[in-house]
Structure 1
Amino acid sequence: MHVPDGFVDAPVSLATGAVAAAAVAVSLRGARRELDHKAAPLAGLVAAFVFAVQMLNFPVAAGTSGHLLGGALAAILVGPFTGVLCISVVLLMQAVLFADGGLTALGVNVSDMAVVTTVVAYAVFRGLVKVLPRRRPSVTAAAFAAALVSVPAAACAFTLIYALGGTTDVPIGTVFTAMAGVHVLIGIGEAAITALTVGAVMAVRPDLVHGARGLARPLELRTADGTVIARPEEPAAAAPRSHRRVLAAGLVAALALAGFVSYYASTSPDGLEKVAHDKGIDSKEEEHAAKDSPLADYQVKDVGDERLSGGLAGVIGVGATLAVGTGVFVVLRRRRDRAAAASVPETEAV
């Protein structure tokens, strides 16, 4: 659903740019509360993983494909504020390095794909977790539903943006019907990927899943009739569990998906591309300013073998996204730690 340059006029592009900038600013502050010693490196990996999975277009209808948007997955794994930042980093890398998503439309894409999907998905997720049984399968089920809803929500948000600043004279009802219809199908794929990923992390390290925090209840000893007779004392604080294995496994998966599996992805246009072509929305599309980038269209320039070229581009993209994302989140965590240390009263510090 990457909106290219020329779909939306300048005033609305500037307005969505302001919305995106404000959302990122708010998220930078909010992410400080979410990023601890475990979440900071995980957040960088989440951004890289979303980048990799977005290269895997899957067929949803005749001549149409879809790909992960990632807002739900990021919000559930690392928190909604951090999730907005993860998807924003992915969109920035795609636009600047790979000419995917317009530069003048970056505000549109961040507002739609980073902010709308994350906010809607996390609201649905939290609402379901509160009413479902406090069990791990409930988290996975809530993740599925949240992701499923987030994609049509993004399609509706694009329709609203296009109604305000579309550059072609296409009836909004036509745009809405086409966008909502195909993105409901794409939402099913998004939901499956999100639920499988969240479920996989939950199976090995539920403590790393932001949306599952507080899920476990204290152990209690009960009689046959349910009366609590004792509550075991909590053991002495153990050393923090290393999460390096999870990070290593996630990185290997991202590199494999982007570097190898992406070659077998569907080559059909995605939902927005298909609707834009069929309905004439793309009649005023503009060439991307980075169309001559060495990595444009996810191919490494001057590498003749298509499979090798695409695989190298994917690996470079994963590495760049991981580096930028991890850098941002580590800086935010350090600022949080410094702020916490500065707030300690002098009497306590002595």
Structure 2
Amino acid sequence: MHVPDGFIDAPVSAAAGLVAAGAVAVSLKGARRELDERTAPLAGLVAAFIFAVQMLNFPVAAGTSGHLLGGALAAILVGPFTGVLCVSVVLLMQGVLFADGGLTALGVNISDMAVVTTVVAYVVFRGLVKLLPRGRRSVTVASFAAALLSVPAAAFAFTLIYAVGGTTDVSLTKVATAMVGVHVLIGIGEAAITALTVGAVIAVRPDLVYGARGLTRPLKLRVGGELVDAPAAAPAAPAARSTRTLWIAGIVTSLVLAGFVSFYASANPDGLEKVARDKGIDKKAEEHATADSPLADYGVKDITDARLSGGLAGVIGVGVTVIAGSAVFWTLRRRRSGDASAAAVPGADEGTDAVPEAAPAGDGGGRSRAPGGEA
């Protein structure tokens, strides 16, 4: 659903750019609350995985294909604010390096594909999780439904944007019907990919899934005849190794999908391309500003072998995306840590030399003990 240059006029594209910039600014602030030692390493991986899977167009119907948008997947795995940033990083890499999605339409694409899909998906997901029984299966079911609804929501949002700033005179009713209709089918594929991925991560590291937090009941201990919450245990070393294993497995999977499996993706136009061609939306489409990029159209310039060219471009794309995404998310994580340290030191922001009080001996570094002193 990458909108190219020329579909939307300049004033509306500029307004969408302001909306996108505002959404990214809010997400940068919100992501500092979401990112921790668990989600920070995963966020860059999620961006790379979305980039890889977006190269895998799957057939839908009537000569149309679809691909993952990724907003639901990112929001559920790493949080809604971080999810907006993940998809935005992917769209930026695609627009600048691969001439996919217009540069003047970047604000439209971020507003539609990053913001709308993430917000709609996460609202639906949280609502269903509250209604369904607590458990991993409910998270997977809610992920499927959230992803399914997020795609036609993005299609409808594009129709609204086109109604205000479209550059051709076409029937908006026909455009809306065609866009939402085909993207409901694409949403089924999005839902399947999202549910399978979320389910796979939950199976090995449920604590890494942002949307699944708080679904496990706290361990209770009987102290003095009353049930109290057990103290939180410190993370074990094997968990850190498990995180590295998951990260490596995710990167390898992304590289295989983008570097090899993408060659077998459907060559049919995606939902927006097909509707634009059938309804005449593309009459004023413009050539991409980076059409001469060495990686334009997901191929490496001057490499004649299509399989090698596309595979190498995919591998480069995964590498660039994971580096760019990880840099953003680690920077936000470090700023959060710095803010927390400053808040813990009275007078730190006035430049004083104050230091925090030492914790009383025997209190476990400030952690409260259960009444009665023993379980």
User: Counterparts of 2:150 and 2:191 in 1: how far apart (Å)?
Assistant: 9
- What corresponds to 1:255 in structure 2? 255
Gaps of 5+ in 2: 347-353, 359-375
What does the per-residue CA deviation read over 1:214-248, in whole Å, with 9 as the maximum and x for residues that have no partner?
Answer: 111024599xxxxx986684575343521100000
For residue 199 of structure 2, what is the aligned residue in structure 1? 199
Give yes or no for contact 2:221–2:230 (8 Å, CA) kept in 1: no
Between the aligned partners of 1:172 and 1:125, the Cα distance in structure 2 is 30
CA distance in 2 between partners of 1:40 and 1:235 (Å): 21
Whole-angstrom CA distance in 2 between matches of 1:47 and 1:248: 14
Within 5 Å, which residues of 2 pair with 1:232-251?
A: 233-234=230-231, 236-239=233-236, 241-242=239-240, 243-251=243-251
Alignment of 1:13 onto 2:13: yes
In structure 2, give the amino acid aligned to 1:75.
A
Superposed CA deviations along residues 258-303 of structure 1, whole A, max 9, x for unmatched, are 0000000000000000000000000000000100000000000011
Partner of 1:214, secondary structure, is coil
The answer to whether residue 159 in structure 2 is matched with residue 171 in structure 1 is no
**Alpha-carbon contact 2:255-2:315 (below 8 Å) kept:** yes
TM-score by length of 2: 0.89
Distance 1:133 1:276, change over 3 A: same
- TM-score by structure 1 length? 0.96
- How much does 1:348 deviate? 2.1
Q: Which amino acid is the alignment partner of residue 154 of structure 2?
A: A
CA distance in 2, matches of 1:204, 1:196: 13
**2:22 is equivalent to residue 22 of structure 1:** yes
Q: Are positions 1:159 and 2:159 aligned together?
A: yes
Partner of 2:264: 264
In the alignment, which residue of structure 1 is the partner of 2:356? 348
Q: In the alignment, is the contact (CA less than 8 A) between 2:77 and 2:198 conserved in 1? A: yes
3-state SS of 2:328 partner:
helix
Offset of residue 41 of structure 1: 1.3
Structure-2 residue corresponding to 1:299: 299
Give the residue type in structure 2 aligned to 1:131: L
Q: Number of residue pairs matched?
A: 345
Aligned residue number for residue 138 of structure 2: 138
> Is the partner of 2:100 in helix, strand or coil?
coil
2:58 corresponds to which residue? 58
**Alpha-carbon distance in structure 2 between the residues aligned to 1:235 and 1:63:** 54
Task: Assess, with a 3 A threshold, how the Cα gap between structure 1 residues 238 and 103 changes in structure 2: closer, same or farther.
Answer: closer
Cα separation, 2, equivalents of 1:235 and 1:114: 35
Residues 184-241 of structure 1 deviation map (CA, whole Å, 9 limit, x = unaligned):
000000000000000000000000000001111024599xxxxx98668457534352
Deviation of 1:55 after TM superposition, in Å, equals 0.1
Give the letter aligned to residue 3 of structure 1.
V
Q: In structure 1, how many angstroms separate the alpha carbons of the residues matched to 2:129 and 2:230?
A: 28
Q: Which amino acid aligns with 1:193?
A: I
**Residues 89 and 130 of structure 1: CA distance in aligned 2, closer, same or farther (over 3 Å):** same
- Give the secondary structure class of the aligned counterpart of 2:268: coil
Letter in 2 for 1:211: G
1:4 partnered with 2:4: yes
Shift of 1:171: 1.1
- The yes-or-no answer on 1:323 pairing with 2:310 is no
Look up the equivalent residue of 1:320 and give its one-letter code.
Answer: V
Alignment of 1:172-191 (within 5 A): 172-191=172-191
**Residue identity opposite 2:142 in structure 1:** A
Percent identical among aligned pairs is: 76
Following TM superposition, the consecutive aligned residue runs of length 4 or more in structure 1 with deviations greater than 4 angstroms are 228-236
* Bigger radius of gyration among the two: 2
Aligned to 2:217: 217
What is the rounded CA distance, in whole Å, between the counterparts of 1:238 and 1:33 in structure 2? 20
Task: State the superposition RMSD in angstroms.
Answer: 1.6
Query: Could you say what secondary structure the match of 2:356 adopts?
Result: helix
Distance 1:34 1:132 in 2: 24
Q: Which amino acid aligns with 1:296?
A: A
Change (3 A) 1:236 1:169: closer
1:67-89 CA deviation, whole Å, 9 max, x = no partner? 00000000000000000000000
Q: Distance in 2 between matches of 1:159 and 1:303?
A: 38
Q: In structure 1, what is the Cα distance between the partners aligned to 2:325 and 2:164?
A: 32
Shift of 1:37: 1.2
Match of 1:225 in 2: none
Distance in 1 between residues matched to 2:233 and 2:11, nearest whole Å? 59
Q: Distance in 2 between matches of 1:263 and 1:72?
A: 25
